[in-house]
Amino acid sequence: MPSQVSDQQLGDAVLESVQHGSFPQSEDVASAEVSSAALPKLLEVVGRAREDTRDQIRHVSREASSDVDGWIAQARKLQGDIKRSQETAQEIVKQAEASKGKTERVQDAASKVSFLHAEMSYNESLVRVVEQLQDISTLLDSAQDAAVHSHIIHALERLEDAEGAFRGLGPFENARVVGLLKTKADGLRSAIVENITEFWHGLVMVDTTEKKITLKGELERDTTVHMDTVVEALQKLGLLDKFIARLSRDFDSIIVSPRLTIGADQVVCALTIEGDDVQIVGHIGDMSVKAALEDLQAISEYLSTRLPPAIATPLSEKLIPIIASRLIHYWLLPTVPLSTEDVPDFQETLSLVLGLVEYFDELGWSGQKRLSDWVDQAAGIWLARQKEVAIARVQKLFPRRVQDKKSVERVETQIITRGDALHQSHNQQEPGKAEHDDDWGADWDEEESAKEEVKAAAEEIEEEDMSAWGVEDDEPEEPKEESKAEQPAEEDAEDWGADWGDEDASKPAPTETPSKFATTHNGNGNGNGHGIAPQKSAVDEVVTLRETYTVTAIPDSIIEIILQIVSDVGTLNSTELVKSVIAPASGALYTIPSLLLAMYRATAVMHYQRDIAANMLIYNDCTRLSDRIRALLQEQAENDKNSPLPKLLLPSIRLKPRLENDIKAIEGFGKRAYGREMESQRTIIRDHLDAAQGFSSCTNMPFASECDNAVMMTMDRIAAVKNDYAPILSHSALLQSLGSLVSTALSKFISDVEDMSDIAEDESKKLHGYCQSLSSLSSLFQSEDENGEVREMAHMYIPNWLKFQYLGEILDSSLADIRMFWVEGALSLEMDGEEVCDLIRALFAESEYRRKAIGDIRRQSSR
C-alpha cells in the first residue's frame, strides 16, 4: 500500500504542474490516489493562487499608471504610423502573399486545434487508465484477501477479472505502474498454485515406500477444503491434466503394475483396499484371471467412489489402456487355449472380461475399447496362437527328431500283364531293358515311338538326374528297336515313379523299371543287351513291391500334428463347443499343415546338415511325408462319409486342395535335394577323371601315374558313396544312384577315349586295363535271386554299360573282330557308325583293310 499523502501536498503538486509544468519528485506524491474528498482542498489552493496572481497584476498596474498614459499616446501615434506603413506594405505584397498568408494561418490554426484535441484525448485516456488501474489494484487486494482466508475459487475469479482488465489497458499495458501490478498478480497466482498443490497432496497421498495411495474427499485446515473445490481450482489454473497424468503414472507404478505384472519368478503382488487406502501388500495366492479381474473391478470402484467425475473420467482415459495392455499381455494371452479341453475355461474368461468392460461403461469411463476389441477378435487371436504354437513346436521338434532314424517299408501291389516289364516272364527274357525319363514329372505310360527320340535322350545322360526308384519302360517293337531303347538317360524322377494314389483301379498299372523289382523278381540276365520280344499273353500277374529305406522321425511327427489339427476341428464343432467364440475359426486350422510343411522346406537343409548324405535323408523324408499325406487324405475321405461335420468343414474337402499342392511341393523339394546330391557327386567324379588330362599320355611318366590315380580315386569315391548311401537309401534307389555315378564316370572315360585321334598299341592296352578296372564296379550291382544265384545287374542301372563294354573289347580286338561286332553282333545298338569309324582310325594305321572295314560299317549304318 502507498504511504498517506496530505491534501496540501497534493494541492502544491497540482499547482506546480499548472504554473511550471513540473512533475512531482516524490514517489509517494506521484503514486498517491486523488480521492473525491481531496478536491475541495485542491480547488482552495488553486483559487488562492489565482487571487495572489491578480493582486500582483493590480499592484504593478498602479505603480506604472503615470508612465502608461505617455506610453499610450506615443503608442497611438506609433500605431498610426505603423498602420499606414502596413497599409502601404500590404498593397505591395497583397497580390503575392494574400493566399499564402491565409494558408499558413489556416494550417497553424488547424495544427493548434489538433494538438488541443490530442491533449484532451490523452488526458481523458489517462483518467480512464488511472481509474482502471485503481480497479485492478482493488481486484488484486480482494484476491489476496480471499486467498488468505482459503477462498480459493473467489481468489481465482478476482485474478481472472484482473487479467481481463490488464488486457483492456491498450497502449498503457507496458507502463511501469502496470508492470508493478502484473508482478503482484503473478506472485498472488504462484501463491494460490502452491496452496492448491498442497491441498492436492493432502487429498491424494502417494507413498512409494509403503506402496500405498490414499484418496480423501476433504481436508481440514483453517477451513474445510473439499476435493471438488481443488479440482475446480486446478481447472481454472489449467493444471488439472498435469495432476491427473501424474496420478495415472503413480497409480500404475504403485498399484496396477505390481498387481498385473507377472515376473520371471511367477510371483504377483497382492492388493488390499481399506477405507481410503489402496495398498500392495505381500503376494497373491490365486493366480486366476478371475481374481485379477475382480481386483481390477475393486480398483475401479475405489477410484469412482473417491474421485469426482472430473478426475475419474479423464483418469480412466489414461489408466484403462495401460490396464488393458497389461491384462492382455500377462493374463489373457496365456489363457488362449492350446488344446480343446481348455476352451470352456477360455469362454468363461471372455465372459468375465466383458463383464468388466460393461462395468467400465456403467461408470461412464473410456479407454476400455481395446479390451472389448480383444474379446471380439478372440477367434482370430486363438487361431494366430495356434499357428504360433505349431511353428514353435516344429522349430523345437525338428532338431531333436532329425536324430531319430528308423527303417520303414513301402509296399505297393500292382496288377501287370505279361507284356509289362514287371512281368516275371518278361523279366527273365529282358533283364537288361531299363528305360528312361528325361523329366521329373514324366508320364510313366508314355511310349517312345521313334528311334531318333531314344538316341537324343541317351545323349543327354550327363545333364539329367537319375530317379531313385525307376524310369518308364517302352513297349517292345522290333528286336533292334528294343535294344536301342536299352540306353536310358539319367534322371531325378520321384520315388516309386508315378502318382500311385491317383490311378483308377480300372486302368492298367503304370509300367515300372527293373530297378524297382530287381530284388523281388527272378531274372536271368545274359548281359549282352539282346532283347527277345515277349510272347503275347492275356495272363495277368499280381506283383507286390517292397522297399525299405531310412527316414527320420520328422515326417511322422508332422503327420501327428496334422492329425491333431483334424481332431481339434471335430472337437470344436461338437455339440459342447460349437457355440464357443472360437468355433467359427476352427476351419482356419486347416491352413496350419501347409504352414508347417512350408516351414519344413524352409529349414530342412539347416536341420539335416550334420548327417552324411543329408540330401538323401531329405529325399527319403519327403517321400515318406508325401506317402503319409496321401494315405491321410484317403483315410479322411473314408471317415468323412459318416462325419457329423458340415460339408465345408470336412477334412477331405478342406485339406485335399492344399495338401495336394503341398505334396507336389514336398516331392519337388525332395527331388531337388536328390538332384543336388547327385550333381555334387558327379562333379567330384568328373574332377577325379579330369586329373588324367584325357588319358592321352597314359603310358608316359609322370602322366601314367596320374591316370592310374584318377581311375583308382574314381572307383574309391563310388565305393565310398555306396557306404554312405547304403544305410539310408532303399536297395533299388541305392543301385539307381550308383548307376548314375558309374554312368557319369564311364561317359567321361568314353568321351576322353573317343577324343583321342591316335591310340598306340601300348596305350590301347593301358586303356583296356582301365576298362577292366572300371568294369569291376559291376560288383556293386550284383544280387542274389531266390535260388541263391548271383545276378549281374549293372546293365540295368548303368545306361552306357554295354557301350563301355564294347569300347573295352574294341581297344583289345583286331580290325576283323571289330567289323564282326558291327556286322554280326550288337555293337550297332550301342554306338553309331561314325563313333566306331573314329575309333578304328585312332587304333589302326592307314591300310586297305581299314578302308574296307570303315566302308562296310558306314554302309551297314546307313541302311
Per-residue pLDDT tens over the stretch 780-838: 888 776 676 778 888 888 888 998 888 888 888 888 888 888 888 788 888 888 888 88
Cβ atoms of 727 and 754 closer than 8 Å: no
| 604 in the same domain as 504 | yes
Whether omega for the bond prior to residue 702 falls within 30 degrees of 0, making it cis, is yes
- What is the reported pLDDT for 505? 33
* In a domain? residue 696: no
What CATH number is given to the structural domain containing 827? Answer: 1.10.357.150
* In a domain? residue 203: no
pLDDT in tens, 735-788: 999 999 999 999 988 888 888 888 888 888 888 888 999 989 888 888 776 676
- What is the reported pLDDT for 583? 83
* In a domain? residue 553: yes
| 420 in the same domain as 356 | no
* In a domain? residue 57: no
| 481 in the same domain as 332 | no
| Neighbour-count burial for 377-405, b at 16+ CB within 10 Å, e otherwise | ebbebbbebbbeebeeebeebbeebbeee
| 515 in the same domain as 451 | yes
| 445 in the same domain as 591 | yes
| 411 in the same domain as 369 | no
Q: What is the mean pLDDT of residues 401-410?
A: 85
Q: Which residue has the higher pLDDT, 155 or 712?
A: 712
- What is the reported pLDDT for 146? 62
Supply the pTM of this predicted model.
0.62
- Looking at 376, 396, 428, the residue that finishes a domain is 376
| 488 in the same domain as 340 | no
- What is the reported pLDDT for 161? 64
- Looking at 640, 672, 704, the residue that finishes a domain is 672
Q: Which residue has the higher pLDDT, 396 or 166?
A: 396
Looking at the chain, the number of H-run helices and the number of E-run strands are: 32, 10
> Measured between alpha carbons, how far is 730 from 225 in angstroms, rounded to an integer?
92
| 413 in the same domain as 370 | no
| 540 in the same domain as 430 | yes
Q: Which residue has the higher pLDDT, 462 or 326?
A: 326
| 619 in the same domain as 732 | no
* In a domain? residue 92: no
| 476 in the same domain as 530 | yes
User: What's at 394, amino acid-wise?
Assistant: V
- What is the reported pLDDT for 612? 85
* In a domain? residue 296: yes
Q: Which residue has the higher pLDDT, 826 or 64?
A: 826
Mention every residue, 6+ apart, whose C-beta is less than 8 A from residue 329: none
Domain count, the chain: 3
Name beta bridge partners: 549: 408
> How many angstroms from the chain centroid is the CA of residue 443?
41
Cβ atoms of 165 and 135 closer than 8 Å: yes
* In a domain? residue 619: yes
Candidate from 152-156, 380-384, 394-398, 520-524 with smallest mean pLDDT:
520-524
Confidence of residue 618 (pLDDT cuts 50, 70, 90): very high
Q: Look up the domain containing 802 and give its range.
A: 723-861
Cβ atoms of 587 and 569 closer than 8 Å: yes
pLDDT in tens, 227-264: 877 887 787 777 888 888 898 999 999 988 888 888 77
* In a domain? residue 15: no
> Measured between alpha carbons, how far is 379 from 584 in angstroms, rounded to an integer?
7
Q: Which residue has the higher pLDDT, 108 or 321?
A: 321
Q: What is the mean pLDDT of residues 431-454?
A: 33
| 422 in the same domain as 351 | no
Closest CA to 514 of 592, 440, 450, 424: 424
> Measured between alpha carbons, how far is 479 from 485 in angstroms, rounded to an integer?
10
